[in-house]
A = this chain, B = another copy of it.
Amino acid sequence: MTVHLSETPETPSPTGSGRAAGPRPPRFLRACRREPVDATPIWLMRQAGRYMAEYRALRERHPILELIKTPELACQVTLQPIQAFDLDAAIIFADILPLLEGMGLELEFVRGEGPVLHNPLRTAQDVERLATPPPEETLAFTLEAIRLARRELDPRGIPLIGFSGAPFTLASYAIEGGSSRHYTRTKGMMMDAPETWHRLMDKLATMVGTYLRAQAQAGAQALQLFDSWVGALSPQDYREHVQPYSRKALSIAAQAGAPIIHFGTGTGGFLEEIRDAGGHVIGVDWRVDLDRAWKRLGTGVALQGNLDPVALLAPWPELRRRAQQVLDRARGRPGHIFNLGHGILPQTPVDNVRRLVDFVHEATANSRTPLP
């Protein structure tokens, strides 16, 4: 059910040039808790990335793992999109795979091929040998980057998001040794060696949960669990082989008290199960209508999404039309965080990002959302 609110476009927008006037109300964190906001908050997955000239310039001088593992550089990249656009949240510049390095996997980013893990997990012994070190030992660089970024962001009133890959998505990289099309080895372990699978997922859940909790303790004011590839599964496989471990990870993470966004792509067949695994905000891709998703998920969670990232390549009038459609489907519900359905594409024009961010604020300013 949608409540149509009257809009007052004649009222000057509190956004845009408002940034210079001092800290803004943290509308991103309010939306995570489904509290009323002065305008719909927006941030973009992979908002610090190759589409920005500032980022490409840094990448010319530093390999990606060096950027991630040097806290000053990771902090610098984290701030690039915040300096360029009126975004409502920063997300720490990091990657989901260094967590696996800390467990004993050999990670390399191969140009043109993406991430490669040179000793993928194939046997029970491989899984048994995996370490579960405290994140403070193996992921200290990201925790330190979070501390540095908070110092820069606090004066601007911009909250910082920490994140981790989810157990399933991490398992798929660890078992396949990189990206995959059919996930045959990953599903193979589920089907042929369920005990090994469950042992692996349990270790990953512990690592992911403690890593997320540590990020919140280091200063991240919200957390996102990325289960980017979980849409490769049937709902039944999700329930049997994944959900208990996402739940465990999210339950450890929740101990730190920060709101949690639970994101996956291709999840239209089991949104309810994603919600039931945990998270205050459910992140959905563009393959579902936001209003239908909300109807299925109920009023107990906020929703993040869900513009197709390809829309950011369109001429501005078409991009605006599509952004408005997303807003229309969320209208009158508290707890909408505008985002893409997946990461921003490298060929995205910077101007379109700027216009989108400002449009979302202007189109929703003063359309106060009632409490549920």
Binding site for B on A (CB under 8 A): 182-184, 187-188, 191-192, 231, 233-237, 266, 268-270, 286-289, 292, 306, 308-311, 313-315, 318, 322, 325, 341, 345, 347
Contact = CB atoms under 8 A, between A and B. Distances in A.
Nearest to A239: B289
A315 B189 CA distance: 11
Contact of A234 (B233, B287, B313): B287
A184 B346 CA distance: 12
Contacts of A318: 191-192
A315 B192 contact: yes
A286 B286 CA distance: 19
A231 B286 CA distance: 10
Contact of A310 (B184, B313, B315): B184
Contacts of A306: 234
Contacts of A309: 182
Given A269-B268, A287-B268, A191 B236 contact: no
Contacts of A289: 234-236, 269-270
Nearest to A289: B235
Contacts of A268: 266, 268-269, 287-288
Contacts of A235: 287-289, 292
Contacts of A269: 268, 287-289, 292
30 contacts: A182-B345, A184-B310, A184-B345, A187-B308, A188-B314, A191-B313, A191-B314, A191-B315, A191-B318, A231-B266, A231-B287, A234-B287, A234-B306, A234-B308, A234-B341, A235-B287, A235-B289, A235-B292, A236-B289, A236-B325, A237-B308, A266-B266, A266-B268, A266-B287, A268-B268, A268-B287, A269-B287, A269-B289, A269-B292, A270-B287
B234 A286 contact: yes
B287 A187 contact: no
B311 A191 contact: yes
Nearest to A186: B310
A307 B310 CA distance: 31
Nearest to A233: B287
A309 B41 CA distance: 41
A333 B182 CA distance: 30
Contacts of A191: 310-311, 313-315, 318, 322
A197 to B, nearest CB: 12
Contacts of A341: 234
Given A234-B289, A234-B308, A268-B268, 10 more contacts: A188-B310, A191-B311, A192-B315, A192-B318, A231-B266, A231-B287, A234-B287, A268-B288, A269-B287, A270-B289
Contact of A183 (B182, B183, B287, B310): B310
A268 B267 CA distance: 8
Contacts of A182: 309-310, 345
A23 to B, nearest CB: 35
Contacts of A288: 235, 268-269
Contacts of A184: 310, 313, 345, 347
A56 to B, nearest CB: 19
A314 B241 CA distance: 15
